[in-house]
Structure 1
Amino acid sequence: MNVILQSLGNLRDLPMPTFNKIAIIVINFVAVSLVLTVLNHNKLKDRKSQIFVLMGISMLGWVDFAYLARIFGRMPEISIIFLKIAWLSTPFVFFFTYMTSTLLAREGKQNKIITISLLVVAIILGIATAFTNLTIAGIKYTNGILDIVYGNGFFPYLGGVFIMMFFTLAPLVRTKIQSKSKFFLIGVIIFYIMNLAFNITLPVFFHITNLYFLGDYSTIFLLGFTMYAILRHELFEIKVFATEALTLILWSILFIKIFFSQNLTQISIDSFVFALTIVFGILLIRSVRNEIKQREKLEELNKKIEELDKRKDEFLNVAAHELRAPMTAIKGYLSMLSEGDAGKLTPTQTDFLNEATNGNDRLIRLVNNMLNISRIEEGRMTYEMGDINLSEIVKIVHDDYLHEAKEKNLVLNLEVPRDVKDKVYVDKDRIFEVVSNLLSNAIKYTDKGSINIKLRNQDQKIIVEVEDTGPGISESDQQKLFQKFYRTESAVGKAKGTGLGLYVSRLLVEKFRGEIGVKSQTGQGSTFWFKLPLKS
């Protein structure tokens, strides 16, 4: 115990360190810069900005006037005025720290009674300190060290400060130290510990006052961590703050370096570098601001595009639903006419009826594709999964399109090896749509020649290939062919299409754990294929 007391006694003989003068410049520069940054961006439009600015001002009042009180220690009349102003500011630092605590912990929903009560406490403590001798009875300046003579109201003053400290920590503890308040809590703890050590314990109980400034300067930790916590969780809309903060730190270092220059030449060089850095720093900040503004405009445009895309999908979905019922009815009546239910048809009438049937079938496929896209993308598609023989589905699709191929004088072949394994686990109707989309496209874009449908096995998978003698597809188009609403340039204007069939086919095949693709060269036809895993 004696060793501890002796060590504490030795602290009294330590001179005021050199960094004391440097620290006051840095603290002022950083604090003023942060406050001006907030003012520049927010213009005190919201409560967060007001609280932070008032905290910064009260901190500067505390630190600066406490420093001036030590500087003018040999002039007691002036020194005590500065000291009382510093102590007047102190309760408000703790009050605005409390306000920031409630802001971070509960997003501004403070208990009004507690807030008003603590504000009244801060005002009373400030007035009592400034206009009476209850808190500070006087000062003594001995051997370059400023000692404070405490009044009878000093301990009530401490009590009021401790109450504010308690209510500052309470909401942070209640939030179980979430990430939003963690960094602020670190700053508060450092601030409190340093104040308890250097502003209360050492000067009051051990009469060591030459280290008082360390407690005062701990405000920079509180200010810095507070700003970081606010910015990290976007309580200020300051997108460019990181650039400004780094620039300000660089300016601070270069500015301080000027005062440590050894000669006029070095001062001139450092001053020139400092001025140059200011110019480039301002240009950098402006550049970042412009970039962020452009990014915000781009984000806004993207949101509008997404909204338009959503409305477009909703429109297509509604239109598809409204079209499906009448087209199904039309298909039924056309089928009845083709079967002679309304009387015998002439060959010309039969040709016209077949054309109408084919056109109606294309519209039905289009509507089905539109509905499928909407359901798949929104996760509303229902699948009736089961084991099927894929060759049977392909045979049905082949037979359905025989007439359409014949009308274009195309030869439609189906090649199914006898020993092919074709049992797969899929939705029967959905895989029918995939095969139908591939064969429909082949007939649509092939003017002469043939179309071959082939089935074969490869590595425990079944592969379906639709090979045509059409115009072929370029490599650049092949990379985009399975995208939504994409059509090759050669197809546009030649045959009606929406660019939905292959997109829907890709979604469905991938749903069944398969793959889909195309092999083609311009002028040499195309082969569209998909493969599915066999049912084990």
Structure 2
Amino acid sequence: MNVFALSGILIGTTSTAMAVLMILIGKEKLHHIWGLFCTAVAVWGFGAYQIATTSNIAQAELWWRITHLGVIFIPILFMHFVSEFLKLKNKPFIVSLYTLGFLFLALNAKGDLFIASMRWVFNQFYYDSPPGIFYIPFTFFFIGLVILSHYILWRALRTATGLKKKQIQYFFAGMLVSFAGGSLSFLPVYGIDFYPIFNLFAFLYTPILTFAILRKQLFDIRLVLTQFLVGAIAILLLFNFFTSSSFFEYAWKGTLFVAFLLAGYLLIKSVLNEIRIREQLEEALTKLKELDKAKSEFLSIASHQLRAPLTAIKGYLSMLMEGTYGTVGEQQKRPMQNVYDSNERMIKLVNDLLNISRIESGKVEMKMEEGSVEKILESVVQELQVKAHEKRLDLVFEKPQSPLSLFRFDKEKMRNVVLNLVDNAIHYTEQGSVKVQARQTAQNTIISVTDTGLGMREEEIARLFQSFTRGETGNRAWAEGSGLGLYIAKQFVALHRGRIWAESKGQGKGSTFFVELPLA
């Protein structure tokens, strides 16, 4: 039995099995189309076997015509399958393809318009060569339709996810071992006597795609391709072994075959381990994303639920302290002020949590309008003067020598950024001053907040703008806060396409925070 006959019986047997499988368990239109495709491939396979085993020219011509009953409809049924798989609305196009298919089928029935003659090739069997006049457009039709269907799949692959993405990857893997090799079978028709050796691997096509269609969970495509590569090389080595002509040749070819099987096993095992580790990492990442999403949802819901009662507490406390409900004694004022301050800190924390939930869900709205950053700085410094005075700190805004140019920014968010920076500077400074400055270059506005406070080390600065993070010195100090302010400030600055960073010469040497915003 020659290789062409062996490939034919393999293709015919596997494709028939896949067609029967689709008939038995297929429930969808997609399954029925694929069953017909497998039937067409089976006709090609069994026909090739008969062609490869006969030396009678009349029988060879008959079997070539029978084989083309399948060959003609292989690209048409595959395009129909792709259209159904991707839910494409192209029924007129599919109908026109079947019309052309039946036209080619009629031309194939008899005469020399499709199959013109037979030619003895490779000293083994007859080939339908040279072609009839209509066989040439059929060849372009076959190859063009295969390319078009895979181009459509490739475009779908770019946006596909999950199971569908893996299925398309399997389709391409199958294409490499079938259409790519099977299409070379046209070469002898046109006098290019290239032996159809690649047909030997085409039997894998229908099982690979049937597996991809029916399975809800697919193995990693790299594993399939590795197994295919190892299997294909092993088949070639085994075939090479049986063609040996001496004991010595049997010995070294047998040794090579066994060594390759061992190496192939180790290769597949390593790929399996890599895939297993990657799947574990992907599973962990998925769970992490779910937890992160749940955290963001919880923060959003909890913050909204807390905001209303905290606002009410603030309102009633203000009225009590102002004497709306009667005179408040000096002895009660201090505890009430402490409660009010604690409530303010809680409101700030709730607002920070709300900001984080909006940032992480991508729901931050930017209200860009032209304004003066100097006014923002003056307002913040004025607001925090009382707090600085309580700590006996000098809080100074050094105005630039000439007014800064107006530019577009979100005033509320930039005020939040500057407020956080100045508030932090006051918190982390025991004595000395906090200085706020602003200047402009040709492209940017640069805001700086400098303090004479606790200072930081390089490693502290590196993680300073992460959520729920503070400098190590701050953790040991009396400073209040959740560690969210700088993280939120960084996100707000990033939304302006700017950057924020900190500099410090070390612990006890103060710090300077910079915000750089583009003017355009």
CA contact (8 A) 1:509 1:516 kept: yes
Counterpart of 1:99 (choices 57, 77, 86) is 77
Rounded Cα–Cα distance in structure 2 between residues aligned with 1:262 and 1:444 = 91
In structure 1, the partner of 2:262 is 279
Q: 1:463 is matched by which residue type in structure 2?
A: I
CA displacement at 1:146 relative to structure 2: 6.5
CA contact (8 A) 2:425 2:449 kept: no
CA contact (8 A) 1:421 1:457 kept: no
Q: Which runs of 5+ in 1 are unaligned?
A: 1-19, 129-138, 149-154, 203-210
1:39-50 correspondence runs (5 A): 47=31
In structure 1, the partner of 2:52 is 67
1:431-446 correspondence runs (5 A): 431-446=414-429
Counterpart secondary structure, 1:453: strand
CA contact (8 A) 2:366 2:410 kept: no
Q: Which runs of 5+ in 2 are unaligned?
A: 110-117, 157-171
Deviation sequence 1:332-376 (CA, Å, 0-9, x none): 333334444445544443332332332222222222223333334
Q: 2:502 is matched by which residue type in structure 1?
A: V
Q: Aligned pair 1:524/2:508, yes or no? A: yes
Q: Aligned pair 1:314/2:293, yes or no? A: no
Q: 1:227 to 1:397 in 2, by over 3 A?
A: farther
Deviation sequence 1:31-66 (CA, Å, 0-9, x none): 69998xx99xx9998949867766665544333333
Q: 2:367 is matched by which residue type in structure 1?
A: Y
CA contact (8 A) 1:483 1:503 kept: yes
Deviation sequence 1:437-494 (CA, Å, 0-9, x none): 1233334445x32441231436353322142422x43322322221233344555586
Q: 1:358 is matched by which residue type in structure 2?
A: D
Counterpart of 1:373 (choices 356, 365, 370) is 356
CA displacement at 1:252 relative to structure 2: 4.0
1:3-152 correspondence runs (5 A): 21=2, 27=7, 47=31, 58-70=43-55, 91-92=69-70, 94-95=72-73, 97-107=75-85
Q: 1:384 to 1:339 in 2, by over 3 A?
A: farther
Counterpart of 1:459 (choices 416, 422, 441) is 441
Q: 1:189 to 1:512 in 2, by over 3 A?
A: closer
Counterpart of 1:383 (choices 354, 367, 372) is 367
Counterpart of 2:453 (choices 460, 469, 487) is 469
Rounded Cα–Cα distance in structure 2 between residues aligned with 1:517 and 1:191 = 62
CA displacement at 1:281 relative to structure 2: 0.9
CA contact (8 A) 1:398 1:414 kept: yes
In structure 2, the partner of 1:411 is 393
CA contact (8 A) 2:300 2:357 kept: yes
The farther-off stretch of 322-331 and 305-314 is 322-331
Q: Aligned pair 1:512/2:508, yes or no? A: no
Q: 1:229 to 1:262 in 2, by over 3 A?
A: closer
Rounded Cα–Cα distance in structure 2 between residues aligned with 1:58 and 1:296 = 40
Q: 2:370 is matched by which residue type in structure 1?
A: G
CA contact (8 A) 2:12 2:43 kept: no
CA displacement at 1:282 relative to structure 2: 2.1
Rounded Cα–Cα distance in structure 1 between residues aligned with 2:474 and 2:176 = 65
Counterpart secondary structure, 1:465: strand
In structure 1, the partner of 2:114 is none
Identical aligned pairs, as a percentage? Answer: 25
CA contact (8 A) 1:62 1:89 kept: yes
CA displacement at 1:188 relative to structure 2: 6.6
In structure 2, the partner of 1:254 is 237
In structure 2, the partner of 1:486 is 469
CA contact (8 A) 1:465 1:530 kept: yes
Root-mean-square deviation (CA, aligned residues, Å) is: 5.7
In structure 2, the partner of 1:428 is 411
Counterpart of 2:483 (choices 483, 496, 499) is 499
Deviation sequence 1:250-307 (CA, Å, 0-9, x none): 3244334435667533432222122111122122223313322332343233233223
CA contact (8 A) 1:397 1:435 kept: yes
Counterpart secondary structure, 1:178: helix
CA contact (8 A) 2:380 2:419 kept: yes
CA displacement at 1:432 relative to structure 2: 1.6
Rounded Cα–Cα distance in structure 2 between residues aligned with 1:299 and 1:33 = 39
CA contact (8 A) 1:517 1:530 kept: yes
Rounded Cα–Cα distance in structure 1 between residues aligned with 2:370 and 2:67 = 78
1:208-247 correspondence runs (5 A): 217=196, 220=199, 223=202, 237=218, 239=221, 240-247=223-230
CA displacement at 1:433 relative to structure 2: 0.9
Q: 1:320 to 1:353 in 2, by over 3 A?
A: same
In structure 2, the partner of 1:136 is none
Q: 2:52 is matched by which residue type in structure 1?
A: Y
Q: 1:484 is matched by which residue type in structure 2?
A: S
Counterpart secondary structure, 2:53: helix
CA contact (8 A) 2:184 2:196 kept: no
CA displacement at 1:502 relative to structure 2: 0.8
Rounded Cα–Cα distance in structure 2 between residues aligned with 1:68 and 1:288 = 40
Larger radius of gyration: 1
Q: 1:30 to 1:457 in 2, by over 3 A?
A: farther
In structure 2, the partner of 1:265 is 248
In structure 1, the partner of 2:167 is none
CA displacement at 1:410 relative to structure 2: 4.7
CA contact (8 A) 1:463 1:532 kept: yes
Q: 1:430 to 1:255 in 2, by over 3 A?
A: same
Counterpart secondary structure, 1:386: strand
CA contact (8 A) 2:38 2:206 kept: no
Q: 2:273 is matched by which residue type in structure 1?
A: N
Q: 2:47 is matched by which residue type in structure 1?
A: W
CA contact (8 A) 2:456 2:510 kept: yes
CA contact (8 A) 2:177 2:202 kept: no
Rounded Cα–Cα distance in structure 2 between residues aligned with 1:324 and 1:435 = 23
Q: 1:395 to 1:476 in 2, by over 3 A?
A: same
Q: 1:459 is matched by which residue type in structure 2?
A: T
In structure 1, the partner of 2:152 is 178
CA displacement at 1:318 relative to structure 2: 2.4
Q: 1:96 to 1:176 in 2, by over 3 A?
A: closer
CA displacement at 1:194 relative to structure 2: 5.5
